[in-house]
Amino acid sequence: MTAVLLRRETEFGLLTALEFLLTDMRWKYKEIDDELILEQSRNLKIPYLHSRILLNRGLVSDEEIGIFFDCQLTENSDPFILSDMAQAVARVEEAICRKEKVLIYGDYDVDGITAASTLFLFLRPYLPEIDYYIPDRESEGYGLSNNGIDYAKDNGVNLIITCDCGISAIKEVDYAKSLDIDIIVTDHHKPAESLPDAVAVINPKREDDEYPYKELCGAGVAFKLLQAFSIKQNLPPNEAEQYLDLVAIGTAADIVPVVGENRWFMKKGLNIVNNNPRLGLRELMKVARLSQKELSVTEIVFIIAPRMNAVGRLGEASRAVKLLTTDDLSLAQEYATILDEENLRRRDIEKLVMDEALIHIQHKYGDKIPPVLVLADDEWHTGVIGIVSSKLKERFHRPVILIAVTDGIGKGSGRSITGFDLYQALLTSKEHLDTFGGHTMAAGLTIREENILEFEQAVNEYAEDIITEEMLEPRLYLEADVHIAEINRELLELLDKLRPFGPGNMRPKFSISNVQPLAARVLSGGHLKFKVRQDHQVIDCIAWNQGESFEMLMSESQRIDLAFVPQINRWNGQESIQLVVKDIRAHATGENYEN
């Protein structure tokens, strides 16, 4: 199972094996009743297209639209609705009264890092001896560990508060209790049949929990504890809300739906990030060359989060917590540089694993790709297999599980597609696993090397009853097919009100059909710059990394269809609307359109 020998193979065969997967994306539009669109358009006195966009998000009444645009919270966000919240707050108050030592126990990904930083910063004024602990990915793995509990005991800790982990730590919580250490669990991963015997287990996914917002990330659940404490202590809301920048970063990085309360987190948090970023984040933005740019979910997910993740993937994740919690400028600059450098190293390792995984697929499967890809290697770095799984999922349009094996024990990370519950797949195959955990779209596991083949067979047998051919087809979800005249400032203003974007409220994409390409040219890097004309109106277009489509744009007698996102292009002090093109096809290929 050695990757080095595989890397010596020619890549010629690899390309041919992947060709069958390079099918056109199917453009899919949400079905909305035309009469309903017309009725709302008349009642609200808004354009038909605007009404369709709102209805695509389930926004019908003035009240619903107002709540969505303003990101207002409702009474359903009361933190005390969460099971065990009252017990957790009471135990924190007891720790403060007794001046106990408290340990915040986080996870080594961005969600865990931001959750730990949030709890640590908020509670530090009340608990002078508070500390935090982030487990080592290589030696301890995910979740609450006996090593961490021993650290707490050695340092006189009376209470551990977990964040983004702990829901499956039944044995570890019992071990802590045997050492007279109390545990408060805050987590968002799916619980098993039994819960840990902790002082409190706060998790909206508990079967007996009535909290309406089930898709909070770990940082979101941690924030609810701070919010509840603030209410109990009659503190002003800002005491907790000043840390929503960290919660927003965790929410964006964990790819949870940006609707309901998560949307409120993101709106308030991004406002702090862009107007008054904390010291460590400000320095990280500088090294990432983001100082002059307004951060959106996109910049967090693709620029900020990878740098925070990198230190946990390749070393000590606590370095990211130090960055976010320091008030020393020189330390902030030092750790921001470390995160940036570790991210560069992570990219090199990731590319190596990605190349090897593709060669594995070629040698192992040829052109008979199963519903779920399960790949293992004894030279892969555990710190990057999650990222590579995600990228392979996007390329092959199916669930992917990568396993890094060391001394006969594999640590795996998987990513799923819409409609396939990866956690449930692992649950049905648990007889082959040592441990596992996660949620619908992402999960982790440990497995003995000799069980990997049987596990792969079991998970694919389960998948055969769930995954359909339709689920494996790459799709581009579009709001509507529009006319060039509808792409105007009014539309851009509406789209701006829909921010922040993310799962559950994705950035609207549109199509435009039967347009004439003009003045097409290939830019450095394989990008396309061109214009399109429809009924004597012309608009600029940019298509990143789509130089292979240039042939379709060469002739002005050609007619094409575009899938795109409209945006304001600012250049040399001038502003204009341009289309950021996601897909290009020759006109009249209607077989790939779906209503």
Beta strand pairing call for 560-571 and 510-523: antiparallel
For 252, the token pair is 């964006």
- In which residue ranges of the chain is CATH 2.40.50.460 found? 475-594
Res 139: pLDDT: 80
CB-based contacts of 63: which residues, under 8 Å, 6+ apart?
none
Closest CA to 211 of 84, 106, 59: 84
CATH level 3 topology of 3-22+347-464: Diaminopimelate Epimerase; Chain A, domain 1 (3.10.310)
* Helix segments in 107-243, DSSP class H: 110-123, 146-154, 170-178, 218-232, 238-241
CATH 2.30.30.100, applies to 475-594: no
Query: What is the pTM for the complete model shown?
Result: 0.86
* Average pLDDT per 10 consecutive residues for the chain, totaling 595 residues: 33 35 74 93 95 95 89 84 98 97 96 98 96 89 91 97 95 97 96 94 96 96 98 96 97 92 95 96 95 87 94 91 97 97 94 95 90 96 92 94 95 93 95 90 93 97 93 91 96 95 93 96 94 95 93 91 94 89 83 45
Beta strand pairing call for 560-571 and 537-543: unpaired
Res 9: pLDDT: 34
Cis preceding-peptide flag for 500 (omega within 30 of 0): yes
Q: Is the CB of residue 401 less than 8 Å from the CB of residue 375? A: yes
Res 5: pLDDT: 31
For 302, the token pair is 């693709």
Res 72: pLDDT: 76
Phi, psi of 244 (to 5 degrees): -70, -15
Closest CA to 84 of 152, 185, 180, 212: 185
Res 183: pLDDT: 98
Closest CA to 439 of 422, 460, 420: 422
- In which residue ranges of the chain is CATH 3.90.1640.30 found? 75-247
pLDDT tens column, 378-418: 999 988 999 999 999 999 999 999 999 999 999 999 999 98
- In which residue ranges of the chain is CATH 3.10.310.30 found? 3-22+347-464
pLDDT tens column, 82-118: 999 999 999 999 999 999 999 999 999 999 999 999 9
Res 595: pLDDT: 46
- CATH class as words, domain 75-247: alpha beta
CB-based contacts of 135: which residues, under 8 Å, 6+ apart?
105, 107, 108, 141, 142, 143, 145, 147, 148
Res 4: pLDDT: 31
